Structure 1
């Protein structure tokens, strides 16, 4: 530890029950279409993850890793659905470990929230907790049978066993942001009448059974964490939808998850993706969405509605009324939190958006809590940790913009990077069709070629032996 980082809480080791991480900065789950169509991994993904490990994060939470191809959100994402996937993941983990960085594999299933299911899912309705289509894209779905639920629990547990065999330092269950586990947890989505629907205890049954079965397979000496949307905000942007789970309900779910055996909780927000509060932005990237969203037109029955709203500028105001009403309210609440913590105007009001929710959960559990929400200011990260809002933060977009945020800025005493992330969300809107990377050309001084060179850099080296 250098003189600059000595005594800095950001660089304090974080000890979980079965895992130690060298600092308090986690790369949150984010990635692009970097792999083969069949879900086998490539060198490009290894290059992608290595960028963040080399840049100094303590741990990487992988992108969404499907436990079965029926649950992928996009083709060209590496899966963990079979044993032949293990050697690739082992190679990736070994590379990440070279930089004293831990690797936590996020185990996932899309349910009804899938952007492009792939040819094998083209004519099949997505499996979900409900028969009701998702309200954003209009992805058609069907309620799973109890037999299918039990089968899916087995897929998750087998995937966790493969992750351990591959050398991953732990697994995370993606129970946030509208994916399948959320579809069971949320009162705004789950309309089942059996033992997996209705009461909070019944809606949480699927998640609890997942954790218990994973524990049976991997044992008690392996790191297992859970990502949860602390508040669903399921009526945003569409005011006619049900609100979904409250913070109080999520606190109770987290207590049950702890009893079932999770080692950490990762706090997010929102019952769908994209959601006005996740990933939050000063404005919606209409122009970029209009160029890339056409790939969704064959996926959901509401996609043409969205494309029209993105495509024509005279409709932006209508969409903005729905999309931005919650953003402005949350920004005011967050600004008040920043003031309480002594933050200046240099810290964006969009930073640390789920800190208050993380604090409420942390007060009610004994396991460490990780908080996400646009963090990129060292001063704010120190405050939310030292003031007890969370034990660590996870970062996605600001690390896409500055892969070396930890080593080149925080470790050298700088509060923010020289060219901070603008939270414009062009990276994520592009990811539907293009390689993931920072697409804010203003950050490159208006030099489009320099921006594209940075985006394409992840494709080199090109082979496993390089």
Structure 2
């Protein structure tokens, strides 16, 4: 069984040494208001690299200060931010881990009282207005600038965040996007912004730079998702990381399916494209990852809270050893406040 997890896979020009992915998990309250870390991410991600993880996706990082998920999140909107990501690359690469960075614009979910989205949206305690064409142009420029900085930092690529109800998800979703211009209405119009961002990042960063797309499943019929996944493949996206999108709560799965609806959607997108696909959500024990890989249901498996609980999760899984199992802390994961309060932190 260990050979299934430990099998390498090619992503762009890189040979990822195994099938385990550390997904982008925000470390809340580990940064300051200017997007700089106050707790070392080089150690945080370096420990998971030492633990054997093949592909590490660094947590959601804002492309501008006014689009942050949290006011303590990492930023890459100015050159001064580059050094903290150089340290991450320097800590992970000696362990033969491939490391990329997730870039995000939170849209209507951004920190602050005045925010912007694909359309005017009613948001509690905020004013959310429709983006102008000039603002959309600036979003594209900010994604490209952040990707170039990530490359200068020595990272192997970027993941463009198009899931979890953040800005690009707000554009692709017909529930949120009510625009009447070229960015709204038809499916192709709603997909226009992420497609333009992918094209412009590729042109700026070059063919050897990994572009991953965090794919938010929005349509329970799968038809729009299938179409979008194929379009991203045609554009040269190297890997799809499938997670939840707007409307994901309406997904239906076969009664005997042993994993979450989000995992299911990842395995369905896997059938549609020839580029590597990552599935995620609730996969905490090696036997779960082994099942998905052994049965050729997916290319790679993202292990989130499992890797927070045990930096050595991947090596233990490969060697058939017991891993630290996440405690499912109530009412939510301790990393949602401060990772140092996790019962497994430092152990």
Mark yes or no: TM-score above 0.5.
Answer: yes
For 1:50 and 1:181, the matched residues in 2 are separated by 30
1:42 Cα deviation after fit:
3.9
For 1:378 and 1:202, the matched residues in 2 are separated by 41
Q: Compared with structure 1, are the counterparts of its residues 195 and 365 closer, same or farther at alpha carbon in structure 2 (3 Å cutoff)?
A: same
1:147 is aligned to 134
**Between Structure 1 and Structure 2, whose CA radius of gyration is higher?**
1
Q: Secondary structure at the match of 2:121?
A: coil
Within-5 A mapping of 1:65-464: 65-114=61-110, 117=111, 122-123=112-113, 125-134=114-123, 139-230=126-217, 232=218, 246-271=221-246, 333=253, 336-338=256-258, 351=259, 353-408=261-316, 410-414=317-321, 417=323, 419-424=324-329, 426-428=331-333, 430-431=334-335, 434-436=337-339, 439=342, 451=343, 454-455=344-345, 457=346
Q: Secondary structure at the match of 1:106?
A: strand
Q: Compared with structure 1, are the counterparts of its residues 403 and 55 closer, same or farther at alpha carbon in structure 2 (3 Å cutoff)?
A: same
Contact 2:89 2:155 in 1 (8 A): yes
Q: Which structure carries more strand by proportion?
A: 2
Q: Compared with structure 1, are the counterparts of its residues 51 and 335 closer, same or farther at alpha carbon in structure 2 (3 Å cutoff)?
A: farther
For 1:352 and 1:167, the matched residues in 2 are separated by 35
For 2:254 and 2:97, the matched residues in 1 are separated by 31
1:73 Cα deviation after fit:
1.1
Contact 2:150 2:157 in 1 (8 A): yes
Q: Compared with structure 1, are the counterparts of its residues 133 and 403 closer, same or farther at alpha carbon in structure 2 (3 Å cutoff)?
A: farther
1:372 Cα deviation after fit:
0.6
For 1:393 and 1:352, the matched residues in 2 are separated by 13
1:60 Cα deviation after fit:
1.1
How many positions carry a matched residue from both structures?
346
The alignment yields a C-alpha RMSD, in angstroms, of 2.4
Q: Compared with structure 1, are the counterparts of its residues 425 and 198 closer, same or farther at alpha carbon in structure 2 (3 Å cutoff)?
A: farther
Unaligned stretches of 5+ residues in structure 2: none
1:379 Cα deviation after fit:
2.7
Q: Say which is worse superposed, 190-199 or 49-58, in terms of deviation.
A: 49-58
Q: Compared with structure 1, are the counterparts of its residues 188 and 357 closer, same or farther at alpha carbon in structure 2 (3 Å cutoff)?
A: same
Q: Secondary structure at the match of 2:57?
A: strand
Q: Secondary structure at the match of 1:337?
A: coil
Q: Secondary structure at the match of 1:36?
A: coil
Instruction: Give the TM-score, by structure 1 length.
Output: 0.69
Q: Secondary structure at the match of 1:189?
A: coil
Deviation digits for residues 265-301 of structure 1 (CA, Å, limit 9, x no counterpart): 11112328xx8x6xxxxxxxxxxxxxxxxxxxxxxxx
Q: Compared with structure 1, are the counterparts of its residues 213 and 154 closer, same or farther at alpha carbon in structure 2 (3 Å cutoff)?
A: same
Contact 1:130 1:189 in 2 (8 A): yes
Instruction: Give the TM-score, by structure 2 length.
Output: 0.91
1:248 Cα deviation after fit:
1.2
